[in-house]
Amino acid sequence: MLEIQNLSKKFKDHKVIDMLNTTFSEIGVSVIVGGNGSGKTTLLHMITHLLKPDTGQILLDGLQPSNIAYKSKFFYLPSDFYLPHYMTGKEYTKFVLSRYAASNYDHLVWLLELLDMTTSQNKMLESYSFGMKKKIQIAAAVAANTDYIFADEILGGLDFDTVLLVQAIFAKISQRKKIILVSHDQNTIDCFPEDIRVMRQGKLIPFTGSPYELTTFIKQDGVLRDKLCDVEKYFSTS
């Protein structure tokens, strides 16, 4: 279980996360949605111990982020990742999997085949397209076999077939593991509607309606509502 208590983070005077309290269960897919700059990545960076909170506590299965065992519990798929361009995909995945005790190399072979990456794993990462870089990362994340996967906008930019395949993989592995996805993508929300949280004003608000009702919920935000009225007025008078 991921437990977050009284978490706060500000950059200079800009409060991004504000006394956030929440828990995530050990299995299933949770989706975090929210406006640009609302703090989703900042939250993931604190959960993954890349960023230190100003206040609060994070516990993953009872472990503190500073504990060495904490890091081996999760795999993080960031939205903008640096890949070592001088390695082949095969060298890279082999290196990544060597860092995780429960890694499954057979699983990796199967995943790369499924994602049409078997041949291109022998090419240098610098020659990979955006989608290929994402696919090799996803294959590594799943084959690393950690208890938790945290992913920031990982399905964006993938072709539709791949999105469907990755969603199917996530649906299967989330029966015994936890996946937390940050996403703006309606298709992802439709696919995993069980636990949607909205990042707003530094807090995570659980959303209990249908994916369709989520759009209505987001439109209720005062600033957005005013801006939508502005769009309406602008085009009706011009």
Ligand X SMILES: Nc1ncnc2c1ncn2[C@@H]1O[C@H](COP(=O)(O)OP(=O)(O)OP(=O)(O)O)[C@@H](O)[C@H]1O
Interface contacts to ligand X, rule CB under 6 A: 11, 16, 34, 36-42
| CA distances in angstroms from 178 to 21, 115, 121, 155, listed in the order given | 18, 22, 27, 17
Least Å distance, CB 53 to ligand X, is 13
How far is Cα 31 from Cα 95, in angstroms, rounded to an integer?
29
How far is Cα 205 from Cα 233, in angstroms, rounded to an integer?
31
Q: At what angle do helices 130-144 and 105-114 cross, to 10 degrees?
A: 150
Between 111 and 196, name the residue whose CB sits nearer to ligand X: 196
Burial 51-62, CB ≥16 within 10 A → b, else e: eebeebebbbee
Question: Under a CB-based contact definition with an 8 Å cutoff, are residues 132 and 81 in contact?
Answer: no
**Residue 150, strand partner residues:** 76, 180
- Smallest CA-to-CA distance from 138 within 172, 105, 162 is with 162
Least Å distance, CB 14 to ligand X, is 6
Between 11 and 235, name the residue whose CB sits nearer to ligand X: 11
Least Å distance, CB 131 to ligand X, is 19
Between 34 and 53, name the residue whose CB sits nearer to ligand X: 34
Between 54 and 232, name the residue whose CB sits nearer to ligand X: 54
Q: Where are the beta strands (DSSP E) in the chain?
A: 2-11, 14-24, 28-34, 55-60, 74-77, 148-152, 178-182, 195-200, 203-207
Least Å distance, CB 12 to ligand X, is 7
Least Å distance, CB 214 to ligand X, is 16
Between 52 and 219, name the residue whose CB sits nearer to ligand X: 52
Least Å distance, CB 6 to ligand X, is 18
Between 115 and 182, name the residue whose CB sits nearer to ligand X: 182
